Amino acid sequence: MSALTFRLRHEPQLRVSLALLVPQTLARLSPAAIPEMELTWGSGAIKVGELFEIRGSDASHLVFEGGSPKLDRIGEAMASGEIIVRGDAGAYLGHRMAGGTIRVDGSVGAYCASGARNGFITVDGDAGDFLAAALPGEHRGMAGGLVLIRGDAGERAGDRMRRGVVLIEGSAGDYCASRMGAGTIAVLGRTGAGIATGMRRGTLLLRETPELPPTFNDCGVHDLGFLQLLYRSWASLPGGFAALPGNSLTVRRLVGDLGNGGKGEVLVWV
C-alpha cells in the first residue's frame, strides 16, 4: 500500500484545521468517505476533497504535499503512524500528540508540540513562537516526546514545558525556557533576552553563555555523567545533535530561577 497522500489543490484563503486527518481517524473510514469529511475552514467548513487531491490508501502513513502556513493542527492528538509534510505547516502541529512521527521539510507556525505527551517531531525549517509551550490558560506545555527543529525557534520556546526534549539547531527567540517546569531544551545557536525567566525545574543546555536573569547563581564547571545518556539518546538524530561538541560532559552549571523555586539549571558547554 502506498501512503495516503493529500495534495493541496490551491493555497487556502482561510486557516483550516486538519485535526481530523490523523492515522487513527482515517483508518476507520472508507476511501469514499475521506473526501467528504468536513474540516474547519475559518468560521465555516470545507470538504477534504475540495481542498486536497487524494491518492494512496495506507492511513498509517500520511503525506501532505504542497504545504501552507494556513494548514493548522496537523497531527493533533495523533496516536501512532507517520505524517510527512512536504512544505510548510501552520500552528498547533502535533498539538496533544500521543505517539508516532511527524516530519516537516518546511517551517511550522506557533505552538508546535504544545501539550504533546509522546512521539517524535522533526522540522527542517523554523518553528514559530511558543514551541512546546502551554496554550493560554493551560498550566503545562509539552509533556513528553522529542521535537527537533533544524532551523530557528521563535519566542517563548518551552514556556511552561512539563517533560520531554526540545532540540533547536538554530537560535531561539526571547524568553526561551520561561516558566519551564521540567524536561530538557538544548539550543546550538544563540538565545534571546529573558532566557529562563521564572524557570522552576528542568535543563537548558546551551553552546553560548546567555544573558541570564540575576536570579541565577553560577555553581561552577562540572562533569555531569547524565549528559552522556542524553547524547546517546540523540545519536541517531539527523543534524548537529548527533555529534555534539566532542560529546563533552563538562559544563558550567547555572542554577535558578531562584525567584521561582530555583531548581532549574542552565548548562553551558565549556
Contact between 265 and another protein per CB under 8 A: yes
Cα 105–chain centre separation: 13
Site for another protein in 159-218 (CB under 8 A): 163, 184, 201, 203
Among the candidate windows 10-18, 20-28, 44-52, 224-232, which touches another protein by CB under 8 A? 224-232
Pick 47 or 140: Cβ nearer another protein: 140
Q: Which is nearer to another protein, 43 or 236 (CB)?
A: 236
**Per rule CB under 8 A, count of chain residues that contact another protein:** 17
224 binds another protein (CB under 8 A): yes
Interaction of residue 228 with another protein, rule CB under 8 A: yes
Report if residue 248 touches another protein, rule: CB under 8 A: no
Q: Which is nearer to another protein, 9 or 226 (CB)?
A: 226
In sign, the C-alpha dihedral spanning 192, 197, 203, 208 is positive
The three cell numbers of residue 12 are: 487556502
Q: Which residue has the cell 527567540?
A: 173
Q: What is the CA radius of gyration of the chain?
A: 19
Which one, 9 or 232, has the nearer CB to another protein? 232
Site for another protein in 109-168 (CB under 8 A): 144, 163
The amino acid present at 161, given as its one-letter code, is: M
Residue with cell 526534549: 165
Minimum distance between the CB of residue 217 and another protein, rounded to whole angstroms?
Answer: 13
**Grid coordinates of 110:** 506557533
User: Which one, 165 or 188, has the nearer CB to another protein?
Assistant: 165
Q: How far apart are CA 128 and CA 17, in angstroms?
A: 17
Q: What is the residue whose three cell numbers read 542524553? A: 230
Which of 268, 122, 246, 250 lies closest to 190 in space, CA to CA?
A: 268
Q: Check residue 86 for interaction with another protein (CB under 8 A).
A: no
Q: What is the three-class DSSP state of 113?
A: coil
Is residue 244 part of the contact set for another protein (CB under 8 A)? no
Residue 115 CB coordination number (10 Å): 24
**Residues at the interface with another protein (CB under 8 A):** 144, 163, 184, 201, 203, 222-226, 228-230, 232-233, 263, 265
